[in-house]
Chain A
Amino acid sequence: MALDATTATAGPAMAPARPGLTLQRFARRRSTIAFLMALPLITVIAGLVAWPAGYAIYLSTLNRRMTSFIGLGNFEILLDSETFLMVIWQSCFFAITAVVLKALLGFWLAHQLHHIPTKGQRIWRGLLLLPWVVPPALSTLGWWWMFDPSYSSLNWILNAIGAPSVPWLGEPWWARISVIIVNVWAGTPFFMIMYLAALKSVPDQLYEAAAIDGATGWQGLRYVTLPMMRNIISITVLFSLIVTFANYDIVRVLTNGGPRDLTHVFASYAFQVGVLAGNIPRGAAVSLFMFPLLAIVAFFVLRGVNQRSKEMA
């Protein structure tokens, strides 16, 4: 707005007869340029996100050969199948367990990292961030090798301390736990980094005031740290919930859905049905099942971000 004011005062000097029109033309030109600058972005969003999303809905209403319209047929077939109900259950179980563990471990590590002298924090942060830096598909290969039934190096450690070997990827429950372990391993550093940044933004005076009032360390955490970080915690958790819920690489590399399709999540099942088995409409329908939950989560994330930016302003 201040910009327009400067131009308005400069305007009469250039076009003394019609100052109002110059201003108008300027404003119009400015918004035209702005629109042109944003046009590539609009093209990407419209062409590669909005259009495919609409196309997915259209695809999901077709039959297998994509020749006729079958309405909600694909969704009905899916909800009738035992395997798909298992996929829904497994996706929710996987996402919720993994996110809770990541949030707790990340908070714990961020807290400990915040406590040590500042000079040492950089190197520890660098070390602990490594799992998050390596592309997940590749680090999962390493885990896959550590879970190998005959050469498992994790079982070697277990045996060395006297515990029995674990059938990591062979048994459904162990396979589920293995997938969660890898996801927690890869995702905890993200939480740690976000929480560490949030912890650093809590002013020291608040802790000093709390300490003078006789607060214990636990009370300081409960009544100072957590309320100050509430927003960032909820944004991080919700965001991670989306990413974890839609995870594909870990399941694909580690178990590929096995044993007996019991570790499939939405993404890997959609891939199996849509791309590998060639039933594109049904695969699209599987993916679309993720949408309602993602929409709800996205709504809360957006609200959190808005609140947060109001607080910062």
Chain B
Amino acid sequence: MSATAASPSAAVPGLGRRIGSLRKERRWALLTAYISLVVAAIVMLAPPFYMLITSLKTSAEISDLSGTPWIVRNPTLDNYWALISDPMFRGFFFNSVKITVCVVAITMVISVFAAFSLARMKFFGSGVLATGVFLTYLVPDTLLFIPLYQIVGNLGLLNSIWGLVLVYPTLTVPFCTWIMIGYFASIPKELDEAALIDGANWMQMLTRIFIPVALPGIIAATIFAFTVSWAAFVYPTAFITRPDEMPLTIGVVSQLIRGDTFAWGQLMAGALLAALPPVIVYAFLMDYYVAGLTAGATKG
């Protein structure tokens, strides 16, 4: 920006000093930027880094207070092996996988159909419904977990992963529908007209045109549904007390903390293993997710 600003002033004689100061200003700005980013990166990455360091330590090394806690002297993978060979921890993992797969599938079916219908095929009350979708997205899970606790209890689904599969769509469906509406609405109308002229019905229009064209949006919504159901915490904490039905988040938080002697190394290893799937997904698909997220607020 300053570079473009410098060229008009260069045309004016006698402003040489000003250009020099602009260039210097730009260098300073760049330096400030890098310093801020390095400091921010250190702060942002310190907790995960420290979790990793702790997870590689033996209990003896953790309780040894001499020297810095921020490095590991005798790294060991024992904590990870202990967890992986623990049937309870593997149970948490499989519960999380089961819940997440079901919730993502349910969410995507519901929200793709609903978004297509709301974006393209108006019906009586569809405008109100679109606003309603956005409003339900703004309803936090902590507002309704007590009535849902009663409802799930009356259905006999407390302490069952199916109770979670039933309520998780409240977390995922509104936002996924919302961003899918945005993506579908941005597809040019000429495409569906062409399809109609070629004799396509609505279902074919959805599967042959809308889903392929809006694929980035579908990927973004899928990632969102995946992360939200993987990380959900309020509902499982309220609904599940039996360890064999717990998903990872609540399993790690409640079952790996036993009594007064915390197995810190194992606890951190468990937290990191549990956090790994979303991190891996982000590492590969970050751009889709960021695009979907910002579209949710900007496309309206």
Is B one of A's binding partners? yes
Interface residues of A (CB under 8 A from B): 2-3, 6-7, 10, 30-35, 37-38, 40-42, 44-45, 48-49, 51-53, 55-56, 59, 105, 108-109, 112-113, 115-116, 124-131, 133-139, 141-143, 145-146, 150-151, 153, 156, 160, 185, 188-189, 193-194, 197-198, 201, 204, 207-208, 211-212, 217, 220, 232, 235-236, 239, 242-243, 245-249, 252-253, 266-267, 270-271, 274-275, 280, 283-284, 287-288, 290-291, 294, 297-298, 301-302, 305-306, 308-309, 312
Complex-state Cα separation, A236 to B173, whole angstroms: 20
Q: Is the CB of B233 within 8 A of A242?
A: no
Given known A34-B121, A312-B299, contact A130–B279 (CB-CB < 8 A): yes
What chain B residues lie within 8 Å of A185 (beta carbons)? 43-44, 47
Q: Mark B140-172, 1 if CB is under 8 A from A, else 0.
A: 111111111111000000000000001101100
Given B32, B110, B135, B234, which contacts A41 in the complex, CB threshold below 8 Å?
A: B110
9 more CB-based (< 8 A) A-B contacts, given A2-B193, A151-B65, A287-B143: A48-B166, A112-B37, A135-B230, A137-B250, A153-B70, A211-B2, A274-B146, A297-B138, A308-B297
Given B123, B249, B250, B297, which contacts A31 in the complex, CB threshold below 8 Å?
A: B123
Chain A residue nearest to B125 in the complex (CB): A35
Tell me the count of chain B residues lying within 8 A, CB to CB, of chain A.
106
Q: Is the CB of A49 within 8 A of B48?
A: no
Interface positions, chain B 15-64, Cβ under 8 Å from A, are 25, 29-30, 32-34, 36-37, 40-41, 43-45, 47-48, 50-51, 54, 62-63
Chain B residue nearest to A55 in the complex (CB): B147
Q: Is the CB of A211 within 8 A of B1?
A: yes
What chain A residues lie within 8 Å of B65 (beta carbons)? 150-151
Q: Is the CB of B121 within 8 A of A208?
A: no
9 contacts between A and B (CB under 8 A): A34-B123, A41-B173, A130-B279, A134-B48, A145-B50, A153-B50, A266-B142, A275-B146, A294-B139
Complex-state Cα separation, A71 to B38, whole angstroms: 56
Q: Is the CB of B147 within 8 A of A53?
A: yes
> How many Cβ-Cβ contacts under 8 Å join chain A to chain B?
317
Complex-state Cα separation, A137 to B110, whole angstroms: 28
Complex-state Cα separation, A208 to B30, whole angstroms: 19
Complex-state Cα separation, A138 to B257, whole angstroms: 13
Q: Is the CB of B4 within 8 A of A37?
A: no
Closest chain-A Cβ to B173's Cβ sits at a distance in Å of 5
Complex-state Cα separation, A209 to B244, whole angstroms: 64
Q: Is the CB of A3 within 8 A of B41?
A: no
Closest chain-B Cβ to A65's Cβ sits at a distance in Å of 14
Q: Mark B253-272, 1 if CB is under 8 A from A, else 0.
A: 10000000000100110011
Chain B residue nearest to A205 in the complex (CB): B4
Indicate whether B105 reaches chain A with its CB closer than 8 angstroms.
Answer: no
Closest chain-A Cβ to B151's Cβ sits at a distance in Å of 6
What chain B residues lie within 8 Å of A297 (beta carbons)? 138
Q: Is the CB of A141 within 8 A of B133?
A: no
Q: Is the CB of A287 within 8 A of B142?
A: yes
Q: Is the CB of B50 within 8 A of A134?
A: no
Complex-state Cα separation, A135 to B227, whole angstroms: 8
Q: Is the CB of B298 within 8 A of A197?
A: yes
Complex-state Cα separation, A130 to B272, whole angstroms: 13
Q: Which 9 A-B pairs have the closest CB atoms?
A: A309-B300, A135-B231, A246-B140, A211-B5, A34-B121, A267-B142, A41-B114, A37-B117, A31-B123
Q: Is the CB of A52 within 8 A of B148?
A: yes
Given known A113-B37, A193-B293, A232-B298, contact A38–B129 (CB-CB < 8 A): yes
